[in-house]
Chains A and B, each alone.
Chain A
């Protein structure tokens, strides 16, 4: 069963790419945010089934955003989008409650696998 997804990334290009991958596979992108702060606000508003979260962003970084979202919704399902070399931050994000992570550059099949597994479908 496809789900409703929110994409968080400060790069419009990345958002576009992810959106393409997701929509092609039948997922609905219900919201986009370009920083952590916006992500937290929109999460409350649209209550997506899943969030893809970039780590390095202006205003509020992805790890803080994970913590904030987890406060609003402890069951929130979040996948971290990480660049190479961000191991430590990914670990932080997992500790903060992120369910899984994908590594840039994205391979469509890996993105979909992670989304499927996290959504349990």
Chain B
């Protein structure tokens, strides 16, 4: 039973690693097409195939291993410049990678290689390989197309009795083996133990190689302070058994791969942490943040009495300290939850390339700022919107080459995907230098769909009118293609982004191009909020939605269409009672109602609606930890969750977007 468990753990690492390599392969292959002479790329691609070959073979996934091996050989040809990098070659390799991905996903689902026809791809790959072999026959006669030649061995290495720095010595031996093209499968004791010198005078290395035992022996014994090496041939079963046996084998392979990476050139150093564990930590930090607020509250109360001066100072000091610690902790945990955007960005060059080829567009796809980090849950949420935006850019944005030339533009279009941090948010922009959005068309369509009246439309600037594309069912594209233009998409983009407290907006110039801006919070768990009192309870309004807090005097209000409004930066601001909004009642002031002399108003702007929420009092601004309302309450329109205040009271968090949505529904 333990064995299956261990095997499963082993499989997990395998799948994860293969997935990583597949992603990297897609990215690197697309790059290679642009820079066929970039040797570091060729090396990186070669290594990825090599690693996939090695691990799939030790897992016993024969088809996958053969496929990876074929492609590795092709890359070897590229490396030796006997195979030229052509778009056709890249296409074929990418298809091969797709097949690897398919196999990997099949294995993930069923635990075994899926039934899949590899013949066509293998044939195509061999076709390229064949060309190369013909070309290089005279140069070197080293047929390496048959993976079956590789055999497994146990290499027992004996160090001299007075050997110093045994750990580094072992490392050097393993390094030397790998340098000589020998696959190191695992070690006994584990690599970690070897490096920390937890072994006697000898250790074992399990290897897979085409070299003969004599050659392996020579390689190992070329290292100083190695007394001797004993090589024993192993069947695959035995080798696998040996690999499974050790409880730590997962770490070993991981360590070896990570070592190999260190050697073969700087990939990022990462630690995998279960997201749930991070969530739990974040939760604890949240509790601390609440405690901090509670302490501050106590101090405030203490400050009113005078006898407890000493206690007060003590408490204040402690609070300051806790404040500092929680701040740091909060930052650290937040950072731990952060992932570089490269995690999603890296998938796009491949996608854009394929789409461009599909649509007959020529596109330079530029990615910038992929190191910018974002909370991992956010990264998941923005993937689909970004796919939509990029597809649109390729399909609708960039013109076909002939059209561009006729317009006096360079034939190759340019799409820029860029991320950067701005204060407490991350901005991602998708920019193309294509057609741009035709605002006139949008105005007409909006009118036709009855989204606006003639007068309203006349008052709208182009910038405002263009935002209609985010309405559901809105599309100005006449010809429907298989990826976009069905009138869905942009509203989904907006919904997804707003769901995570982000904002989306668009700028476009006809004939010049379009830029979409996504503004996202750094994290979802803790936000700054404005605390307001309504009906005796304290509500939290996310600061991201708040434009300004206004104290509006009765004499500065006006009746427009029988509802009370005020002027805000030259725009009409409808005044709505938050108390009634929350209860789902009509919230506008009507003629005949008693209007207070002063209206404490929170001006919010979200979902393209500007509104003034009238509250009983403004309490303050504070960092709050978002807690979900729990599944038994579920989604409540107008509420985004709850938080616990310093004095222990629960405060409901107002979800302004859905609240105003409701207003639009109720009001008209």
Contact = CB atoms under 8 A, between A and B. Distances in A.
A100 B164 contact: no
A102 B164 CA distance: 8
A118 B176 CA distance: 12
Interface string B165-176: 101100110010
Interface stretch (A39-47, A53-61, A109-117): A109-117
A118 B168 contact: no
Contacts of A103: 164-165
A101 B167 contact: no
B262 interface: yes
B262 A118 contact: no
Interface stretch (B76-84, B220-228, B595-603): B220-228
Given A100-B224, A102-B224, A118-B224, A91 B168 contact: yes
A25 interface: no
B224 A94 contact: no
Nearest to B172: A94
Contacts of B458: none
A120 interface: yes
Interface residues of B, number: 15
A94 to B, nearest CB: 6
B172 A100 contact: yes
A117 B222 contact: yes
Interface string A88-103: 0011001100001111
Contact of B172 (A101, A107, A120): A101
Contacts of A113: 224-225
Contacts of B221: 117
Contacts of B224: 100-102, 110, 113-114, 117-118
A117 B165 contact: no
Given A103-B164, A103-B165, A91 B171 contact: yes
Interface in B140-181: 162, 164-165, 167-168, 171-172, 175
A84 interface: yes
A95 B262 contact: yes
Nearest to A90: B168
Nearest to A79: B224
B164 A114 contact: no
Nearest to A92: B262
Contacts of B162: 107, 110
Contacts of A91: 168, 171
Given A110-B224, A120-B222, A90 B175 contact: no
Contacts of B333: none
B158 to A, nearest CB: 14
Interface string A69-95: 000000000000010100100110011
Given A95-B262, A95-B263, A100-B172, A90 B165 contact: yes
Given A94-B175, A95-B263, A114 B225 contact: yes
Contacts of B172: 94, 100-101
Contact of A101 (B168, B222, B262): B168
B223 A100 contact: yes
Contacts, number: 42
B168 A87 contact: yes
A19 to B, nearest CB: 19
Query: Among the interface residues A91, A102, A114, which one has the most CB atoms of the partner chain B within 10 A?
Result: A91
Interface in B569-601: none
A82 B165 contact: yes
Nearest to A82: B165
Nearest to B218: A120
A94 B222 contact: no
Contacts of A87: 165, 167-168
A107 B164 CA distance: 11
A120 to B, nearest CB: 7
A82 B221 CA distance: 21
A110 B172 CA distance: 16
A103 B224 CA distance: 11
Contacts of B165: 82, 84, 87, 90, 101, 103
B145 to A, nearest CB: 28
A84 B164 CA distance: 8
B169 to A, nearest CB: 8
Query: Among the interface residues B165, B172, B175, B223, which one has the most CB atoms of the partner chain A within 10 A?
Result: B165
Contacts of B263: 95
Nearest to A80: B168
A82 B222 CA distance: 19
B262 A110 contact: no
A82 to B, nearest CB: 7
Interface string B215-238: 000000111110000000000000
Nearest to B197: A87
Contacts of B262: 95
A118 B262 CA distance: 23
Contacts of A84: 164-165
Contacts of A82: 165
A94 B167 CA distance: 13
Given A100-B172, A117-B223, 6 more contacts: A84-B164, A94-B171, A95-B262, A101-B168, A107-B162, A118-B224
27 contacts: A82-B165, A84-B164, A84-B165, A87-B167, A87-B168, A90-B168, A91-B168, A91-B171, A94-B168, A94-B172, A94-B175, A95-B262, A95-B263, A100-B223, A100-B224, A101-B165, A101-B172, A102-B224, A103-B165, A107-B162, A110-B224, A110-B225, A113-B225, A114-B225, A117-B221, A118-B222, A118-B224
Closest 9 A-B residue pairs measured CB to CB? A114-B224, A103-B164, A90-B168, A100-B224, A117-B224, A87-B168, A113-B224, A117-B222, A103-B165
